[in-house]
Copies of this chain bind each other. A is one copy, B any other.
Amino acid sequence: MPTHRTGREIQLVSRPHGVPSPHNFAMVETPVPALDEDQVLVRNLVMSVDPYMRSRMNDVPSYVPPFALERALDGGAVGEVVESRSDALEVGDVVLHGLGWRDYAVGAARGFRRVDPEAAPLAAYLGVLGMPGLTAYAGLLEVASMKAGDVVFVSGAAGAVGSAAGQIAKLKGAARVIGSAGSAAKVEHVLGLGFDAAFDYKQAPVRRQLRDAAPDGIDVYFDNVGGDHLEAAIGSLRLRGRVALCGAISGYNESTAPPGPRNLALAIGKRLTLRGFIVNDHNALRGVFTEEVGGWIRGGRLRWEQTTRHGLENAPAAFIGLLQGENTGKMVVELSGGTA
């Protein structure tokens, strides 16, 4: 007989306009259902908040459906199996899955992937070894076709994706890697990761700072922010330059569309390629990614940072803080566990 547990979950109760507020969220206690055949019950230990979640809070068609109101949000999480009706997983296994924002996750075992808690901190499976790391790897190498000798510019360079992208660029032989971030402390952090140059985009126009950091131009731009960063990059890109359009966080909270790059016509003469992507299209890379990035991590050649908030009740604030740039590296929330 399964225990009659209850667990807490964070629901979206109204759609944010502009910057989300705590009032858009509610924490609700719900019964944990009994398991069906092949299902597992997982107690979440750590969950992810990511910029893409902001888009899903709008009720507009996108590449993933919008979050429903008065339902639990979802997203990456790592937890421990506490009950299993599957042969594939047993109690005590630590698993990565997509049912975050709640104390307890229930689902078919095939939706949960076992990870090794000894090989890396659990949060790394939500960051450098997980979706953000694969995003960086695929965007840089497949989407932007980065080659040894390229000059690479990465925006949001202190974030989970950006910090991985810049380091992977260096490890893959980029001639020079430039990062932008939103504070002096983040710039220091980015330089500490081995970027050749970094600047605080709040201190002076991006266009000028990028030109100073890469006076001969750039070959690849890994775009996490859109807006004036993209316009500056188009200005600095050299012949046959490539842009991986990964995120546009500068516009996520805007109610009106931000201005587009006024210099996009330069793409003609420079033969630029701008390509949007989402990580799900690149799952075929996961094997080589895990092997190569895992090796760099074991060898101490690839570093990552995380910013940790504590308690499911603080997940909305962690998410809002993420959109306001409070994080360095991956933002995660450690959960204290549900009530039995």
Contact = CB atoms under 8 A, between A and B. Distances in A.
A11 to B, nearest CB: 24
A196 interface: no
A236 to B, nearest CB: 13
A238 to B, nearest CB: 12
A258 interface: yes
Contacts of A247: 268
Contact of A272 (B260, B267, B271, B275): B275
Q: What DSSP secondary structure best describes chain A's contact surface?
A: loop
Contacts of A267: 245, 274-276
Contacts of A269: 55, 62-63, 276, 278
A270 interface: yes
A257 interface: yes
A271 B263 CA distance: 21
A62 B267 CA distance: 11
A267 B275 CA distance: 7
Nearest to A240: B281
A231 interface: yes
A63 B266 CA distance: 9
Interface of A: 55, 62-63, 226, 230-231, 245-248, 251, 257-278, 281
Given A231-B260, A264-B264, 18 more contacts: A55-B269, A63-B269, A226-B265, A245-B265, A248-B268, A257-B263, A258-B262, A259-B259, A259-B260, A260-B263, A261-B261, A268-B278, A269-B278, A271-B276, A272-B276, A273-B273, A273-B274, A274-B275
